Copies of this chain bind each other. A is one copy, B any other.
Amino acid sequence: MTLDVGILGYRFMGVAHSNALARLPMFFPDAPDVNRDVLVGRDEDAVTAAADRLGFDRIATDWRDVVDDVDVFYNLGPNHVHREPSVAALEADTAVFCEKPLAPTRSDAESMAAAAADSTAQSGTAFNYRFVPAIQYARNLVEDGVLGDIRHFRGRYLQDWLVDPDAPWSWRNDAEMAGSGALGDLGAHTVDLARFLLSDVAGDVERVSGHLRTFTDERPVKGGEETRPVTVDDAYSAQVGFENGAMGTLEGSRVADGHKNAHTIEIEGTKGALKFDLERLNELQLLTEGDRGFQRVLVTDQDDPYVEQWWPPGHALGWEHAVVHENYEFLTAVADGGSFAPSFEDGLAAQRVLDAVQRSDERGEWVQVD
């Protein structure tokens, strides 16, 4: 059986997933066969050119023509376009893989998760960092009890592309289209990793105190003289409490000068601790019982997660490899009928935390996640 795939979106994420599909046969030969069937976008010329480059058989300019016509639908558009096509696909029992955050609002996310629950088809949320080998390895350690009882979680995602107040406006600065700013864009990843790494041992995030800030109120439109208002946060922070009593601090910013893609995770338990930095994604800093200091582990050995499929020890993987692993797992689940996480349910779970951060910021008080 070959899975016909339709992808909505042909920029960064469209390329990342097209590339992932193209690489499966060589590196994951037991993955299902995939046909890059149709690329979807509104600008016919641009999408035609992209389809040619990305290896698709055909194009479409309306996702409505596609969602029930393929086996798997990738929804990689802006946040405000997540709900409708995803729900339509699920209603047609077409598997859906959707970019993060799952939706601009919690209610959208709830509709999507409900549609997934009602569908026979698989759903997936693009929390790709779960599939970085060092993160998978970290999770295995946590689940094996290597860190003991968890006391602290610290997640930060710092970027600097909006430090300049004249950096151009985009849909990512708009509340209608994006839902939120750094919170949804960056915080969704951090919240998902907190859940992925800790929920089995420390439980879920129960309560939250949030803080959002917009430093630049309007930004110039690219190529014009106009400006548009920034209606989302440039940065957020949050304090969280886990079910087991562990404490967490979260932070995300697009105005953190000097940081390109600094997604860092730190966890301390009663027996050990670990640190991860996306800018050095082949490494895990690890403290195990009896160690005098953090070991710098290159997670590139043959028995590290997914590494056997690639290169010998010490040969660095890149950001995109996590996307390949993610696609491998998702498509295998689609083909085999197995379960896949992160599903829309996981996307919604993250959204609930983001929503709680926003509510907390508005109210000036701690709020329960549900």
Stretch at the interface among A93-101, A116-124, A219-227, A273-281: A273-281
Contacting chain B: which of A68-76, A287-295, A339-347? Answer: A287-295
Q: Are the C-beta atoms of B213 and A247 separated by less than 8 Å?
A: yes
Given the known inter-chain contacts A291-B295, A318-B318, please indicate yes or no for A247 contacting B311, CB distance below 8 A: no
Is A314 an interface position by the 8 A CB rule? Answer: yes
Per-residue CB contact flags for chain A residues 20-47 toward chain B (1 = under 8 Å, else 0) read 0011011101000000000000000000
Asked if A209 contacts B261 (CB within 8 A), the reply is no
CA distance A135 to B167 in the complex (A): 29
B53–A260 CB distance below 8 A: no
> At the interface, yes or no: A241 with Cβ under 8 Å from chain B?
yes
Q: Which of A29, A253, A312 has the most CB of B within 10 A?
A: A312
Q: Assess whether A185 is interfacial by the CB under 8 Å rule.
A: no
CB of B294 within 8 A of CB of A256, answer no
Asked whether any CB of chain B lies closer than 8 Å to the CB of A235, the reply is yes
Q: Are B12 and A312 in contact (CB under 8 A)?
A: yes
Inter-subunit contact B320/A319 (CB<8 Å): no
Q: Does B247 lie within 8 Å of A249, measured CB to CB?
A: no
**A163–B168 Cα gap in the complex (Å)?**
44
- Write the nearest CB–CB distance from A63 to chain B, whole angstroms: 23
What is the total number of copies of this protein in its complex? 4
Q: Which A residues from 284 to 328 make CB contacts under 8 A with B?
A: 286-287, 291-298, 300-301, 310-321
A303 → chain B closest CB, angstroms: 11
Cβ of A80 within 8 Å of any chain B Cβ, yes or no, is no
Please tell me if the beta carbons of B151 and A313 are within 8 angstroms of each other in the complex.
Answer: no
- State the CA gap A262–B18 with chains docked (Å): 32
Instruction: Tell me whether A181 is interfacial, beta carbon within 8 Å.
Output: no
User: For residue A52, which residue of chain B has the nearest CB?
Assistant: B29
Interface stretch (choices A1-9, A82-90, A263-271): A263-271
**Which chain B positions have C-beta within 8 A of A139?**
none
Kindly state the separation between the CA atoms of A18 and B294 in the bound complex, as whole angstroms: 35
In the bound complex, CA of A251 to CA of B45 (Å): 52
Instruction: Give the complex CA separation of A165 and B270 in angstroms.
Output: 9
CB distance from A128 to the nearest CB of B (A): 11
Contact A297 B292 (CB under 8 A): yes
Question: With A211-B241, A255-B268 in contact, do A260 and B26 touch (Cβ < 8 Å)?
Answer: no
> 17 A–B contact pairs at CB < 8 A?
A26-B55, A209-B211, A209-B364, A253-B268, A257-B269, A258-B287, A258-B291, A260-B314, A262-B314, A292-B301, A293-B298, A294-B296, A295-B295, A296-B296, A316-B319, A363-B365, A364-B365
